[in-house]
């Protein structure tokens, strides 16, 4: 097959920017589409950049007539669970309606391969862990519902229009580019590892632990942290799967190892050598006690082999990025 041309929607964001870099390194041609609402132009390290919003259907039409994309990867969505509860309209409009605009532009222009950033949030409060893909889908907040709605839309679009998709259900994306060029730049930041590292570097005063009274060994929530580079490699494998004529599928992406919030804080203390001030805080609404992936399907069907699958590597890379952002490395 000739060099694939991939449209990366949301390629200026955290995971999307790592994806653009990996695709370019692997010899793909890349166009990034981003409205820069939360992304950064300078995070897009190469390829063509197009500034546009998915709500702008004429702009999408022009993009798809100017390029014959082999596949589309879609990273552009709002991701804050708490905000989604307070402002559901924002989430349904961006994560569902705008995704429909993108899918409809693909159908209208005969582009038939789609890789979607889904989430463990589709499962809600799991009845057991590790969670396989066929676990019931009971999202407990608008964010999770938007992801599950799009997955269901994708099933219908495959049936009706032959649009093949791979939905990748991320557990807790974390870490940074091992070469130090890219990292997490959310403002406001809400994720645990970058917030702990801000407390370690002095950019924040403390880390708040949201709840010590969960039914877990140390009372704090357990999550499955997966390195952003490993997530991107799974996308690349999903792309190959679709380019080879593979069927639509959904896959969990996680390492299958759960770490509690307190364990992550302790690992960060050890790795950074800094004292990190902890403040106890109430539970955050909508947090399930345990989320751990059973990612057997991605390993078997995509051949996914997470390589940076230990918490130390994730924290080390995120710490290098935090220090670089502060100009201290």
By CB under 6 A, which span of 89-97, 202-210, 230-238, 249-257 interacts with ligand UDP? 202-210
Q: What does the longest C-alpha to C-alpha distance in the chain come to?
A: 56
Kindly tell me which residue out of 40, 49, 92, 210 binds ligand UDP, with binding defined by CB under 6 A.
210
* Residue 293 interacting with ligand UDP (CB under 6 A): no
Residue 32: beta bridge partners?
A: 8, 49
For the CB of residue 192, give the shortest distance to ligand UDP in the complex, in Å: 4
Helix orientation angle between 261-272 and 311-325, rounded to the nearest 10 degrees: 60
Kindly tell me which residue out of 90, 191, 269, 274 binds ligand UDP, with binding defined by CB under 6 A.
191
* Residue 49 interacting with ligand UDP (CB under 6 A): no
The answer for residues whose C-beta is within 8 angstroms of residue 58's C-beta and 6 or more apart is: none
Window 159 to 178, contacts with ligand UDP (CB under 6 A): 172
CA distance 181 to 84: 31
Mode of pairing for the β-strands spanning 222-223 and 259-260: antiparallel
By CB under 6 A, which span of 29-37, 58-66, 136-144, 185-193 interacts with ligand UDP? 185-193
The candidate with the shortest Cα–Cα distance to 249, out of 293, 290, 300, is 300
The candidate with the shortest Cα–Cα distance to 154, out of 238, 83, 225, 86, is 238
For the CB of residue 155, give the shortest distance to ligand UDP in the complex, in Å: 24
Helix orientation angle between 228-243 and 14-25, rounded to the nearest 10 degrees: 60
Quote the DSSP letter at residue 4.
P
Nearer to ligand UDP, 113 or 290 (CB): 290
By CB under 6 A, which span of 18-26, 106-114, 128-136, 186-194 interacts with ligand UDP? 186-194
Residue 241 CB coordination number (10 Å): 21
Quote the DSSP letter at residue 202.
T
Residue 165: beta bridge partners?
A: 114
Q: How many residues bind ligand UDP (CB under 6 A)?
A: 15
Kindly tell me which residue out of 66, 128, 190, 279 binds ligand UDP, with binding defined by CB under 6 A.
190
Kindly tell me which residue out of 209, 238, 249, 292 binds ligand UDP, with binding defined by CB under 6 A.
209
Which of 123, 143, 157, 170 is the catalytic position? 143
Window 238 to 277, contacts with ligand UDP (CB under 6 A): 261
| Torsions phi, psi for 75 (to 5 deg) | -105, -5
CA distance 238 to 253: 12
Nearer to ligand UDP, 102 or 168 (CB): 168
* x-or-dash string of contact with ligand UDP, 93-132, rule CB under 6 A: ----------------------------------------
Nearer to ligand UDP, 20 or 193 (CB): 193
Catalytic site residue 225?
A: no
Kindly tell me which residue out of 221, 234, 250, 276 binds ligand UDP, with binding defined by CB under 6 A.
221
Q: Which residue is nearest to ligand UDP (CB)?
A: 221
DSSP string, 38-72: S--GGG--SSEEEE--TT-HHHHHHHHHH---SEE
* Residue 151 interacting with ligand UDP (CB under 6 A): no
Burial class (CB in 10 A: 0-12, 13-18, 19+), 207: buried
CA distance 71 to 262: 41
Interface residues with ligand UDP (CB under 6 A)?
81, 172, 190-192, 195, 207-210, 221, 223, 261, 284, 287
Active site residues: 143
């Amino acid at each position: 097959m000739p060099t694939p041309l991939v449209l990366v929607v949301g390629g200026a964001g955290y995971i999307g920017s790592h994806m653009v870099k990996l695709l370019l390194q692997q010899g793909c041609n890349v166009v990034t589409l981003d409205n820069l609402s939360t992304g950064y132009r300078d995070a897009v390290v190469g390829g063509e950049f197009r500034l546009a919003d998915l709500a702008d259907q004429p702009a999408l039409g022009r993009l798809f007539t100017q390029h014959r994309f082999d596949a589309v990867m879609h990273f552009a969505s709002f991701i804050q669970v708490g905000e989604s509860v307070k402002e559901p309209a924002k989430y349904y409009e961006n994560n569902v309606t705008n995704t429909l605009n993108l899918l409809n532009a693909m159908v209208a222009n005969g582009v038939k391969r789609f890789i979607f950033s889904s989430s463990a949030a589709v499962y809600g409060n799991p009845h057991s862990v590790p969670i396989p893909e066929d676990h019931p889908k009971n999202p407990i907040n608008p964010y999770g519902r938007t992801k599950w709605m799009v997955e269901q839309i994708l099933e219908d679009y495959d049936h009706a229009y032959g649009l093949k998709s791979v939905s990748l259900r991320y557990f807790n994306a974390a870490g940074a580019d091992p070469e130090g060029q890219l990292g997490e730049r959310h403002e406001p930041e809400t994720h645990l590892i970058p917030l702990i590292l801000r407390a370690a570097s002095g950019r924040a005063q403390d880390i708040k632990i949201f709840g010590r009274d969960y039914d877990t060994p140390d009372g704090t929530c357990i999550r499955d942290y997966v390195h952003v580079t490993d997530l991107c490699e799974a996308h690349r494998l999903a792309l190959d799967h679709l380019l080879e004529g593979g069927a639509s599928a959904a896959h969990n992406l996680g390492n299958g190892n759960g770490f509690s919030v307190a364990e992550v804080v302790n690992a960060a203390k050890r790795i950074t050598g800094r004292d990190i001030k902890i403040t106890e805080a109430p539970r955050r609404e909508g947090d399930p006690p345990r989320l751990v992936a059973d990612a057997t399907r991605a390993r078997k069907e995509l051949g996914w082999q997470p390589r940076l699958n230990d918490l130390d590597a994730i924290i080390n890379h995120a710490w290098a990025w935090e220090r670089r952002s502060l100009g201290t490395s």
